[in-house]
Amino acid sequence: MDSSPPSDIFLLAQVPYVGASVRQVEHVLSLLRGRSGKLVDLGSGDGRIVLAAHRRGLRPAVGYELNPWLVGLARFYAWRAGCAGSVCYHRKDLWKVSLRDCHNVSVFLAPSVLPLLEGKLQAELPEGARVVSGRFPLPTWQPVAVVGEGLDRVWAYDIHSGGPAGQAAPAPSSALVPRAPDPQAG
């Protein structure tokens, strides 16, 4: 099975644009409350999460989006809000973006992309980073917090040394688990 990141064309076809609702944006921000540092929104669409995060003090706030029309729309909204010089939107493939200095990551992506994204997040994010996933949870990670219902639900995951908090680990093999001696045996 090929585990290489998908191409730009694949992503555009697999991750159609559906803007985050007001409630989803509120939920993302509630899971980032009290945090500081850089926020990156992967697949930032029209930029509403980046703009809202900037207004709440997460700096720098950066969005990465493949669709050039959505990048232009996001820049227009930032300009209209008076934040054009304070937030950044880039037309860039999320697989080519380094996340090593990101402490807060937002993703609203299709379930087909999330298994591959888990590996990138685990490999690149620093300890203490938080990932907030909207609409769909990360497939093998266990969230530290969940807010909302239905389509407005968002999940938060914290990165610790050794991987995300609560990440599902393979069940130990009985052959590898040492057993305490049985005092009755003898």
Q: Where are the domains of the chain?
A: 8-164
Helix (H) or strand (E) holding 89: strand 87-91
Least confident of 6-20, 107-121, 126-140: 6-20
Q: What is the mean pLDDT of residues 1-18?
A: 53
- Contact (CB, 8 A) for 30 and 22: no
Distances (CA, A) of 39 to 28, 99, 144, 159: 11, 10, 18, 15
pLDDT, one tens digit per residue, over 71-104 is 999 999 999 999 999 999 999 999 999 999 999 9
> CB count, 10 Å around CB of 96?
9
Residue 56: the pLDDT is 94
* CATH of span 8-164: 3.40.50.150
Note whether 67 and 94 are within 8 A (CB): no
pLDDT at 173 over 70: no
Q: What is the model's pTM?
A: 0.80
Q: Residue 135: enclosing H or E segment and its boundaries? A: none
pLDDT at residue 11, as a whole number? 46
